[in-house]
Structure formats: C-alpha cells, structure tokens
Structure 1
Amino acid sequence: MTKKVVLVVEYNGSAYKGWQAQKNGVPSVQENIEKALSVIANHPVKVVCAGRTDAGVHASAQVIHFETHVQRNERSWTMGANTYLPSDISIVAAKYVADDFHARFSALTRRYRYVIYSADFCPAILSKGVTWTYKRLDVEAMQQAAKVFKGTHDFTSFRAVGCQAKTPMRTVLNFEVQSFGQYVVLDVRANAFLHHMIRNFAGVLMSIGAGEKPVEWAEEVLRSKDRTKGGITAPPFGLYFVDAEYPENFHVPKNALGPHFLPFVEEPNYELPS
C-alpha cells in the first residue's frame, strides 16, 4: 500500500545550482534529498517541493512530499535520511499525510524573507547568507514603497525574462520591511511567486532605500508592466524560503521562522486566499 510523507527541509543553497535536480551531475538540493530517502526507503524516491529555489537561494522550511510503499516511523525518515545528507541540508520534520496532499498544489501561501546586511564592509561570516550593501538604507521609505505591492497585481515588471509562469498575476498578502541592527529584512507572503520576483522587489526597494529613487518609483515600475523599467535583480544570497501554509486538515508540521540568526518577530495579520 502506497503512503504519502511530508517533510520540512532546511538547506544552505550556496553550494547548489538550485533546488531542482539537473542532468550532467550539476549539484542540486533535490538530487541529494532523493538519494538519501532512497537509501532509507530501499527503493527510488522522487520528491515534490512547495516552491523551487534558484542557485544560491536558501530555505529554513521548504515543504516536500514523496510516496513510498514501505513502513518507517517518522523519526526514521528524518534521522535516517540526515545520516546520508551533506551538512548543508537537513530534514527537520516528517509526517504521514492524506493521499490528496500535494506540496505544491495544496499550498495556500508561500513566504520568503530577503536579508540585507547594511555595513561598511562585507561580512566574512554569512558572506553567502546575506546580501551586503555599503549603502545606508532608509527602512521607512522602503516600507512605504512596499505597500504598493500588496494585493492582486500584474507583476510583469518583477518577473524574469525567462519566467515560464502562465500568468503574471499574483496576490501579495503581506509585505513587511524591518530592521534588526544592521540587517534589513524584506518579509513577503503571497499565494505564489514569479521567477526572480522577490529579488526584483529587493532591487527596487534597495534603490529607494539608498535614496537613488523616490518612493513613488515602486508604483511606476509596477504600473509599467515592463521588466526593463525595474532596475537590477538583487543577488540570491539573502533569499530564504521560510514557510508554506496549507489547510489545517493536513496537519503539516511547522519549523521555526527562519533564518535562525534573526530575532523572533510578531506575526502580522493577513487573510488567507479562499
């Protein structure tokens, strides 16, 4: 009898060419996880994730699922698989779920945090875990500009040229810009994201925060529906997949909001999409 298992995974994406398994031995997070789970299951395992991440992008709570016909306790899927995983990938939770669960299609929302380190010098620690800028950023101006992105919009100006999504329409449920010492954090929750969408948000907001563009520029870029009007795509280093939400009846396990070097924050109010 086939059963479905959901896992929560944390990984440092610095050494990988993204989440998705690729040909020709290109290192990916998915390939490493499938190999480890296949050892524990004693049969080939294929996994599906809530949201694929690009090269250099991290996750503190990526959600994945797979199917198996073998019986293992939930601790075996975590502790056992971690034995065969590199130190920069860790399975932090496992649970058997209903057959109709799907890590991608059952997700109601996805959440990312983009971490900027604003200081005179590039950090030696976390050099690939944050996006560094020597510029001083006006967080209030960035937060004011970010308000325009909330709601349902055509985000053509913020999608990569090669984005394969069928539509540029997305619904941003919450967008907070906060400072924690020298860290400036963009915290975004949406029903789904376009390719490079958050990194393009970050590029626009960093220009506004540095005083290079006015607050109104964010709305101008959004309304233009033209990627060439949106400035640079920010680097991948500071981007983290931090949460995916599902209907409560699936009882998907949760991990603490990451990345874990940031302090705890109060959760903002928002409404889940219907």
Structure 2
Amino acid sequence: MKRNLAIFFMGMTIATMVLGGCGDKENISKKDGKQSESVEDKKTFTVGFDAEYPPYGYMDENGEYTGFDLELAEAVCELEGWELVKKPINWDSKDMELNSGAIDCIWNGFTMNGREEEYTFSTPYVDNSQVIVVAEKSGMKTLEDLQGKSVGVQAASAALDLLQSEEEGGQKALADTFSALNEFADYNTAFTELQAGALDALAIDVGVANYQIKSRGEGYQILEETLNTEQYAIGFKKGNQELCDVVNADLKKLTEDGTIAKLAEKYEIADMVTLK
C-alpha cells in the first residue's frame, strides 16, 4: 500500500512539473510574440530624437516638441494610422534605446556615413556638411586658423567622430592642432560657451549652425571651408528591414505629394533636402 501511494505521489509530482514547464513555455512564447510585433500590428511609432537639435528636433516656445524630422515623422504616422510617440533621448544612449526596443528608430539629423554596418538605414533625405562656427570678430577664416584654438563639439556626434577619425576623409590631424576639443551634451550649451569666449570655435552640422546663428542674431560666422559632406537618414535597429521599407515607401509618397518640399521650405533647409 505504501509503495502504491509513493508511486501515485511521484506521478503527480512529475505531471505538475510537466504542466508547469508547458505553462512557462507558453508565457515565453507570448512574450516573444509581443517583442516581435509585426508592422501590421503596430499602433504607435516611437521616434528617438535629440530635443536640442534644431531645426530637426527641438522644443518650441509653446513647450511642444517639433522640427523638420518630427513633422515628417508625424506625416508618416498619418499615412499608416499610427500614433507618433516623440521620445527625447540622451544622444550618448541612442544605441541602447534602439536595441532595447524603447524606440523604433533614431530620426533626428542622424548621419549614416560610416555607420552603415551598425543600423538599417532609410533612404537618405538630407545632404549635410560639417562646418566650423566662430565669432565674427575672431579673425579666423580657414581651418588652419584653428591651430592652437579650443573647439567645441557635441558628444557622440558625427562631428566628433570625424575629428577623431584617422581614416580617409577623417580630420584627426586637424583636431590634433587644437589646444582642446571639448565635448558638450548639446549645442545650445556649446553656443553659450562660444558667446562667453570660453570656446574659440564649434564643429557642427550646417543646418543646425544656420538655425542657431539666425536665432541668436549677429556675431557668428561659418567658415567657408567645410570639414566634410555627409547624408542624413533614419536609423532602424540592424535587420529591421520590414519597418524601414514601410517608412521608405511613405517618404516616397510624401515626396510626390509635396509634403517634404513644404516642410523643407518651412524649416529653411530646401537646398539640403535630397528627396525631390
């Protein structure tokens, strides 16, 4: 009798373990299914952006996030029936935000050149140059004039990558002539330092430079000699071709109906936009 009871309880234990294991697998399956949500099931579209990067993404006088890229993302969402979620991010943390699934893409004046192996990129939509901004009274006219000067740049930016690169087209040799290369979290802070005389120059995207100079008034100039030319694109997690293809198709529609041209005129970057 005792032997029969022992066998009975052993059988019950094994059955419980098997059922529990099946339940765990089912939960894992459901979790994985949620993580691998298809484009057809999407309800929201979360864009990661630098909130201090005008004219592409910034906070306006009403406290609302706006900019060329964010309005373009809104237009894509209208075509797809998605709700746009604007998520300001620390630019240093953009890869973590993207790879964790916290954002669907990086869409904010994002340079694709040299990063092609790290992301799945959309069709490029802006031709951009990296330039140097100095005070008008600085007397500096060429890149050679930066020798012995302190230069500011945004952390984790394309300009910083360029000034640290020893590859063809890189500008590390130029940066080595600076007295200092100072990194800032955003260009608003960097411009304040330039205005105060704590910096001699800024390495910055030309579109952002033009916006900052216009909004701050006279006193600054862009050197005619550029550091390089690059392209902006939307960065998706590597391998997320499905979502990238949907957005690319929408960009084509927005080009054809004139939406992109209107936004480019509004934000004064019509000469830089390549989707025409």
TM-score by length of 2: 0.25
**Which one has a bigger Cα radius of gyration?**
2
Name the structure where helix makes up a greater proportion of residues.
2
